[in-house]
């Protein structure tokens, strides 16, 4: 195989690094690649210029006008709500309270927020799992339950698998080492219809800044058509696409911002489960328009929400709904 240009090799390393994945090992690595990777790693923490400028003017205003300690309202904020990544699954579930208990018992979930409805059900809740987040609400007649498939990366797949079963889940298959990914990999279904692939990644480290603990996994019919859609609608980037000789997507990892989701061609008992996904983007209005141009249909035009986000909703051609949001501050 001819050696790929250095710019391509570097870009693949950067792509993977943006979401803390390990890049594919280079077949014929250029020695120049290795010395550039540490530079790229540090650049992930590069400060935003607009923040640097806003903070300076904030401090200057304070010294010149002797203002109170409160930061000025014009302070520019990062587009993601603290604690969130670019992609968060939003699960509508029958029995929200019990589902939160399950997340705590099975996956050491930490309840971050609960907004109850007047009838005692959950209007909205947020549960942190590892370094990821799950949002949920109780299903009702208008919004029926939408179970999802999630990939959950953990330090010890066997221990987590066992805990999930103890918390009431049923086994789909126990963790094995013979999964094509090379990861130690098992699967369960919870009492709420959600499916979880529980995996211990090999070759990279899950952790506070590492691989995302929670990644949506979409089984799709004609999955290969989803990749160009996500690229044009949400400025996504395909990090690794493995196809069968017939052109079916066996597995693909798709990056949006600092997080990823995975897709493959629906097969056997793993059929499409259209779901809700919440994505944080720098400019909701622009991305909403972009998604519609790419073939999404509108669910809700962009509006400012009382909880401090500007948000919109679209549906993709595969039936999944996307909440597009930009954090505006409290």
Residue 36 binds other proteins (CB under 8 A): yes
The residue among 52 and 267 lying less far from other proteins, judged by its C-beta, is: 52
Q: Does 7 bind other proteins (CB under 8 A)?
A: yes
Helix (H, G, I), strand (E, B) or coil at 263: strand
- Residues between 66 and 85 that touch other proteins (CB under 8 A): 69, 71, 75, 77-78, 80-85
Of the ranges 55-63, 165-173, 305-313, 317-325, which one interacts with other proteins (CB under 8 A)?
55-63
Helix (H/G/I), strand (E/B), else coil: 97:
helix
CA–CA distance, 275 with 218 (Å, rounded to integer)? 9
- Asked whether 228 and 207 are in contact (CB, 8 A), the reply is no
Say if residues 146 and 275 touch (Cβ distance below 8 Å). yes
294: phi then psi, degrees, rounded to nearest 5: -80, -5
> Which SS3 state, helix, strand or coil, does residue 5 take?
coil
Q: CB of residue 60 vs other proteins: minimum separation in angstroms?
A: 6
Q: Which of 24, 60, 250, 305 binds other proteins (CB under 8 A)?
A: 60
Q: How far is CA 98 from CA 23, 60, 94, in A?
A: 39, 51, 9
Quick check: 293 binds other proteins (CB under 8 A)?
A: no
Report the length, in residues, of the chain.
Answer: 330
115 contributes a contact to other proteins by CB under 8 A? no
Helix (H) or strand (E) holding 52: helix 49-65
Name the segment binding other proteins (CB under 8 A); options: 1-9, 94-102, 135-143, 309-317: 1-9
Closest CA to 163 of 110, 96, 108: 108
Binding mask 294-313 for other proteins (x = CB under 8 A): --------------------
Among residues 4, 112, 124, 248, the one that binds other proteins under rule CB under 8 A:
112
How far is residue 184's CA from residue 79's CA, in Å, rounded to a whole number?
A: 35
Distance in Å, CB of 251 to other proteins, minimum: 20
Rounded CA separation 148/99 (Å): 13
In whole angstroms, the minimum distance from the beta carbon of 14 to other proteins comes to 7
Q: Is 128 in the site for other proteins (CB under 8 A)?
A: yes
**Which residues are bridge partners to 310 per DSSP?**
304, 326
**Site string (231-270) toward other proteins, x via CB under 8 A:** x---xxx-----------------x-xx------------
Question: From the list 2, 31, 64, 119, which residue makes contact with other proteins (rule: CB under 8 A)?
Answer: 64
Q: Helices (DSSP H) in 89-225: which residue ranges?
A: 96-107, 157-166
Dihedral of the alpha carbons of 114, 120, 123, 125, in degrees to the nearest 10: 20
Using DSSP's 3-state secondary structure scheme, residue 131 falls into coil
CB of 206 to other proteins, least distance (A): 12
d(CA 204, CA 84): 21
Among 87, 89, 100, 131, binds other proteins (CB under 8 A): 131
- Please identify, among the stretches 104-112, 162-170, 268-276, 308-316, the one whose residues bind other proteins according to the rule CB under 8 A: 104-112
Nearer residue to other proteins within complex by CB, 78 or 225:
78
Q: How many CA atoms lie within 13 A of 237 on its CB side?
A: 14
Q: How far is the CB of 147 from other proteins (least distance, A)?
A: 26
* Residue 14 vs residues 7, 24, 153, 282, 313: alpha-carbon distances, Å: 10, 11, 21, 20, 30
Q: Is 32 in the site for other proteins (CB under 8 A)?
A: yes
The stretch among 41-49, 163-171, 271-279, 313-321 that binds other proteins (CB under 8 A) is: 41-49
Contact present, 240 and 113 (Cβ < 8 Å): no
Residues binding other proteins (CB under 8 A): 6-8, 10-11, 14, 18, 32, 35-36, 39-40, 42-49, 51-52, 55-56, 58-60, 62-64, 69, 71, 75, 77-78, 80-86, 108, 110-112, 128, 131, 208-209, 231, 235-237, 255, 257-258, 282, 327
């Amino acid at each position: 195989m001819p050696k790929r240009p250095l710019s391509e090799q570097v870009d693949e390393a950067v792509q993977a690094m943006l979401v803390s994945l390990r890049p594919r090992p280079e077949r014929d690595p250029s020695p120049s690649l290795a010395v550039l990777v540490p530079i790229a790693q540090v650049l992930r923490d590069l400060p935003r210029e607009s923040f640097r400028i806003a903070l300076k003017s904030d401090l200057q205003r304070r010294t010149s006008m002797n203002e109170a300690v409160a930061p000025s309202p014009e302070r520019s904020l990062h587009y993601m709500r603290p604690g969130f990544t670019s992609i968060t699954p939003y699960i509508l579930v029958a029995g929200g309270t019990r589902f939160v208990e399950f997340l705590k018992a099975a996956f050491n979930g930490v309840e971050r927020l609960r907004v109850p409805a007047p009838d005692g059900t959950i209007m909205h809740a947020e549960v942190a799992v590892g370094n990821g987040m799950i949002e949920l609400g109780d299903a009702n007649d208008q919004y029926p339950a939408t179970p999802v498939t999630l990939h959950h990366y953990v330090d010890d797949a066997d221990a987590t698998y066992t805990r999930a079963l103890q918390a009431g889940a049923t086994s789909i298959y126990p963790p094995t080492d013979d999964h094509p990914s090379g990861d130690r990999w098992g699967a369960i279904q919870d009492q709420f219809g959600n499916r979880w692939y529980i995996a211990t990644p090999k070759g990279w480290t899950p952790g506070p800044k590492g691989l995302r603990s929670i990644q949506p996994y979409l089984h799709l019919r004609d999955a290969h058509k989803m990749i160009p859609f996500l690229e044009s609608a949400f400025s996504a980037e395909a990090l690794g696409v493995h196809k069968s000789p017939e052109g079916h997507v066996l597995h693909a990892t798709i990056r949006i911002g600092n997080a990823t989701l995975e897709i493959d061609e629906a097969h056997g008992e793993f059929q499409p489960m259209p779901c809700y996904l919440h994505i944080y983007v720098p400019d909701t209005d622009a991305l909403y328009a972009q998604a519609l141009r790419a073939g999404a249909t509108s669910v809700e035009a962009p509006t400012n929400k009382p909880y401090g986000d500007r948000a919109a909703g679209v549906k993709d051609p595969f039936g999944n709904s996307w909440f597009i949001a930009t954090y505006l501050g409290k």
